[in-house]
Amino acid sequence: MQAELAFDAAHPTAAGHFPGDPIIPGAVLLAEILRVVAPVESACEVRAAKFLAPVRPGDRLTVRWSTERAGEARFEAYAAGGDIAVNGTLVLGAAAS
């Protein structure tokens, strides 16, 4: 499956993370990825996540994910140039602990 994410150039984290060289914090990236990958799950656990390239205010990401095993999803978030910015594994629903 696939979804698009866009981070506003005036994103609230831009002023403080980091001044003069803003990036979207990893926690914000994961929250947005969870919102599109598991929008109705009541429980979700991030099993693993790797941040491979900075995502800046104004950037767009293409998030692709698939279910690897029951209750588990692998995701990759691609920047506009095609580089992977973030990837990881989520445990969805009742399987989360």
* Terminal-residue alpha carbon distance, the chain: 25
Domain with 6, as residue range(s), is 2-95
CATH of the domain at 85: 3.10.129.10
Q: Which two tokens stand for residue 79?
A: 């920047």
Q: Which two tokens stand for residue 87?
A: 């990837």
User: Which strand (E) or helix (H) includes residue 32?
Assistant: helix 26-37
**pLDDT digit string, tens, across residues 36-72:** 998 876 778 899 999 999 999 999 999 999 987 788 9
The structure's pTM equals: 0.89
**pLDDT digit string, tens, across residues 74-93:** 999 999 889 999 999 999 88
Count the domains in the chain.
Answer: 1
Query: How confident is the prediction for the chain on average, in pLDDT?
Result: 90
Q: Which of 55, 9, 11, 66 is nearest to 30 (CA)?
A: 55
